[in-house]
Structure 1
Amino acid sequence: MTADDDIEASRAPLMEHLIELRSRLIKAIAALFIAFIACFFFADDIFNILLWPYEFAAGPQKDLQLIYTAPQEYFLTQIKLALFGAVFIAFPIIAIQIYKFVAPGLYKHEKSAFVPYLIATPLLFLLGAAFVYFVAMPFAMSFFLSMEQQGAPGQASIQLMARTSEYLGLIMTFILAFGICFQMPVILTLLAQIGIIDSQWLRQKRKYAIVAIFAIAAVMTPPDVISQFSLAIPTLLLYEATIYVVRLTEKKKAKVEAAASGS
């Protein structure tokens, strides 16, 4: 076989992979587009749902009012909100398309090992988003609202008048930051599964992990101590939980190897 024949033989599998990739991308983009249209149609309702942490922190006695200061601001806010919601809704389909694209190149045991991580990733992201919605965001808004100042003789009144775009940006930043940081158990467990790290290594590097977690929290959250601690503390707890999970995995693996060597 000549060099030209080798090139021609490799070209066909490459074209097949490119066609398959195009097909998967089209399906993923179509799912994202359909979800975007649906979310844009219900953008007001979604925004009202996201306002609950603010309403909870303010209490029923406070009449909330959000503003926008440019004619197009709220429209652009709805577009951002629709895209944000579309990513949430379409993520399972996108993840399935990615898995179907790489699955043919995996061995059977690799596929079975990959599936739990495919399931855990969106669940942990949703867990992080739920923590933001029910805990972190109400706590942060309570702290910000506590800085208001009631007017008195000789004293100015200082009241929070939040902009729609800024509030949406704040809660989206929180959800993305927590969702990403809550992926840490998946990443570390996967690294342990392939033998790069182990539970002993995780325990030895705990002090470095603490510094790294607080540094990441400072970068990914608004520049206030309350927001940073609200992200760092649960992430540290997840780190400790990961050590425990990795240790259980090691014990299970040791038992399997012992049973195999004994037989």
Structure 2
Amino acid sequence: MSTQENFVSHLVELRDRLLRALLGFIVVFIGLMAYPGAGPIFDLLAQPIQGALPEGTKMIATGVITPFMVPVKLTAMVAFVLSLPLTLYQAWAFVAPGLYQHEKKMAIPIIFSSTLLFLAGIAFCHFIVFGKVFAFINEFAPASITPAPDIEAYLNFVLTMFMAFGLTFEVPIVVVVLVYMGVVTVEKLAEARGYVIVAAFVIAAIVTPPDVLSQLFLAIPICVLYEVGIIAAKMVGKKRQEILE
């Protein structure tokens, strides 16, 4: 097979993989729209802030089509997360033929672990962080004000926080990959611990609301997960050394 034919065959395979991933997303999205529906999904997302608002207070929608578009947008986001394993599998199946055997053995646990950690970050943010943060923020609202957040602004805020916490929980994966690739040693990572702590609080101050509680809820997991990554990297580093020998 010529180089051009080989290139075309790779493009065809890539197209097929992308179409399968897209089809999986569409099937999950349609299923979620049918049951439980976009409305109940948004109600679940709104539980943390609803529990912090004064009794009887509801969020508002200022746009004409916002009550329809925001729940649908959220449902699409949920469908993407739920279909993520299929998307990652398609990506894995596309690149696997070009990997060495030891790289294949390492790639599967990394894909599986990164997916679980990302979902764990979202769950931690939704079920633990939001309730305490929203209650903390609403305590500072003057008595003359009745908080009534806009649903679109709330969704954008929630998605930003989900992304921040989801990526934060990927810290152990990043540490392990860097050690496995030989970019850095475990000893160097341990020495950089102080810089990581400072960076964690700087990142938390940038991506979270301007309150101390939110920043602590993001910065502390970064520091803890960095230590977890170092422990895991020690084990991975030993396996890498055995392979090289």
After TM superposition, give the deviation of residue 69 of structure 1 in Å: 1.2
Deviation (angstroms), 1:113: 1.2
| Shift, 1:164, TM fit | 1.2
Matches within 5 A, 1:1-263: 9-41=2-34, 42-58=37-53, 62-150=55-143, 157-251=144-238, 256=242
**1:208–1:26 CA distance, 2 compared to 1 (3 A):** same
Residue 253 of structure 1, CA deviation? 5.6
CA distance in 2, matches of 1:199, 1:97: 32
Aligned residues: 243
Q: Which amino acid aligns with 1:80?
A: K
Equivalent-residue separation in structure 2 for 1:38 and 1:74 (angstroms): 20
Q: Tell me, in whole angstroms, the C-alpha distance in 2 between the residues paired with 1:110 and 1:247.
A: 17
Contact 1:170 1:222 in 2 (8 A): no
TM-score, normalised on structure 1?
Answer: 0.85
CA contact (8 A) 1:129 1:179 kept: yes
The residue identity in structure 2 corresponding to 1:249 is V
Gaps of 5+ in 2: none
User: Could you list the per-position Cα deviations for residues 40-87 of structure 1 after superposition, in whole angstroms to 9, with x for gaps in the alignment?
Assistant: 4411111111122224445xx722311111211222212320221121
CA spacing shift, 1:36–1:223, aligned 2, 3 Å: farther
Identity %: 34
Root-mean-square deviation over aligned CA pairs: 2.1
- Structure with higher Rg: it is 1
CA distance in 1, matches of 2:208, 2:24: 30
2:168–2:221: 8 Å Cα contact kept in structure 1? Answer: no
Letter in 1 for 2:222: T
Give how far 1:221 is off.
2.4
> Closer, same or farther in 2 for the Cα pair 1:252/1:23, shift >3 Å?
closer
